[in-house]
Amino acid sequence: MPRRVHLHVGAPKSGTTYLQSRLHANRRELHRHGISYPHGPLGDQRVHYWAALEATETDHGVAPERVRGAWSRLLRQVRAARGDVLLSHEVLAKATEAQAGRVLKDLESTGAQIHLVFTVRDLARELSGAWQETLKFGGRRPFARFLASAREGNSAFMEGFDPIRVLTVWGERLPAEQIHVVTAPPAGGPPDLLWHRFLEAIDVRPEWVPHEAVRANESVGIAEAHLLRRINRRLGEEARRGGRYSPLIDGLVVGRALGPRTSERITLGPADHPWVLERSQAWVDWLRDRGVEVHGDLEDLLPAAPADDWTDPDEPMPGQVASAAVDVIAALLDELHDRPVTPVQRARHVWARLRR
């Protein structure tokens, strides 16, 4: 029977991919200290993702056989654990009250004490990251339209960003000392600071987990965002989650070609800063009043003012977009050149990917 379950429910775009990758890289070290981070065959950590999809009834185009029964399979690992258990996926942030209630009821049935963990970054950076995420999966809207939708409450991402909504849904039945809010440090801070704040929240000592993350969510700049929108318009539904081109866009176009480029970053401008600051301040005030355990500084959630030389991400920049397109073509040619052509080469290629 587990002693404690640390349930990390988001928020999206708050460093979750980095944290999950680093937990996964240290899963054996965690196990030696009596802490379980569940995984599937060959160390597949997508079991958290599939379980979150089922628990929240979310369709990301994943094969139904992966999702069906995923929460029950994960719960069996929780029941079999001794000591602490870590569960983590940001899809859980969008859960309804009924969905969260079912998950908590199942976890409480194990006899474990539940600790809720919510990582959060300042809203300006979360919105910038969220728009980029939509572009990775077929989105075509300009940045201004995306922000207007978020301001009016019509953006699905906003449900997961809002700590008042998420912590009310997930934490209403929990005492304040079992609700942990981890604030992401401002841009330019020490690279390990978020990780150390997260470890403090889950009661893990840094020396227990020495390995670095093997992946993080790639971000793109303004020129790359323009290119992705044009690609998505051309490919239509096949670029969206579940479409045949979606894995190539996320993994190859963004991961290999566009993510490593150093171009001008996407940030909020003067027109949107006031409402984002006002909403962020309301969240900070609510968190202080709620009395949750804060790991970091709530002031980190207040967005920085836009730069004087801010560039509108919706402004055309054909030269830079063309340069990004050439990099994508080069990455695609490399992929075609390296693609296995014989059955033996294909088998070796698949095995190498599985081992990674």
Confidence of residue 196 (pLDDT cuts 50, 70, 90): very high
Confidence of residue 335 (pLDDT cuts 50, 70, 90): confident
Confidence of residue 356 (pLDDT cuts 50, 70, 90): low
Residue 44: what pLDDT? 92
Rounded to whole angstroms, the Cα distance separating 194 from 182 reads 8
What DSSP line would sit under 243-308, residue for residue? Answer: STTHHHIIIIIIIIIITT---PPP---TTTHHHHHHHHHHHHHHHHHHT-EEES-GGGGSPPPPPT
Residue 267: what pLDDT? 97
Q: Determine the average pLDDT of the residues in 285-306.
A: 97
Angle between helices 163-171 and 273-290 (to 10 degrees): 30
Does 355 have pLDDT greater than 60?
no
Q: Which of 253, 249, 221 is nearest to 237 (CA)?
A: 249
- % the chain with pLDDT above 70: 95
3-state secondary structure 38-65: CCCHHHCCHHHHHHHHHHHCCCCCCCHH
Q: Determine the average pLDDT of the residues in 284-292.
A: 97
331 CB neighbour count, 10 Å cutoff? 17
Residue 354: what pLDDT? 52
Confidence of residue 348 (pLDDT cuts 50, 70, 90): low
Chain segment 198-238, per-residue pLDDT in tens: 999 999 999 999 999 987 788 999 999 999 999 999 999 99
Q: Which of 190, 159, 192, 166 is nearest to 180 (CA)?
A: 166
Chain segment 39-90, per-residue pLDDT in tens: 999 889 999 999 999 999 999 999 999 999 999 999 999 999 999 999 999 9
Q: Which of 144, 105, 280, 333 is nearest to 225 (CA)?
A: 144
176 CB neighbour count, 10 Å cutoff? 12
Does 294 have pLDDT greater than 90?
yes
Asked if 228 contacts 29 with a C-beta cutoff of 8 angstroms, the reply is no
Residue 189: what pLDDT? 85
Does 29 have pLDDT greater than 80?
yes
Q: Determine the average pLDDT of the residues in 113-139.
A: 97
Residue 182: what pLDDT? 98
Rounded to whole angstroms, the Cα distance separating 349 from 46 reads 21
Q: Determine the average pLDDT of the residues in 318-332.
A: 96
Rounded to whole angstroms, the Cα distance separating 283 from 278 reads 9
Rounded to whole angstroms, the Cα distance separating 323 from 313 reads 17
Q: What is the mean pLDDT of the chain?
A: 94
What phi-psi label fits residue 203: left (phi over 0), alpha (psi between -120 and 50 degrees) or beta? Answer: left
What is the distance, to the nearest Å, from the Cα of residue 303 to the centroid of all Cα atoms in its chain? Answer: 19
Residue 1: what pLDDT? 79
**Whole-structure pTM value:** 0.92
Residue 42: what pLDDT? 80
Residue 329: what pLDDT? 96
The distance in angstroms from the start CA to the end CA of the chain is: 32
Query: Which two tokens mark 171?
Result: 């934490």
Residue 297: what pLDDT? 97
Query: Among the residues of 33-189, which ranges form H helices?
Result: 46-56, 64-67, 70-80, 97-108, 123-136, 143-151, 156-161, 163-171
* Domains parsed from the chain with CATH numbers: 2-134+155-218+269-307 (3.40.50), 220-264+316-356 (no CATH)
Q: Which of 222, 226, 241, 223 is nearest to 62 (CA)?
A: 241
Chain segment 3-22, per-residue pLDDT in tens: 999 999 999 999 999 999 99
Rounded to whole angstroms, the Cα distance separating 311 from 320 reads 14
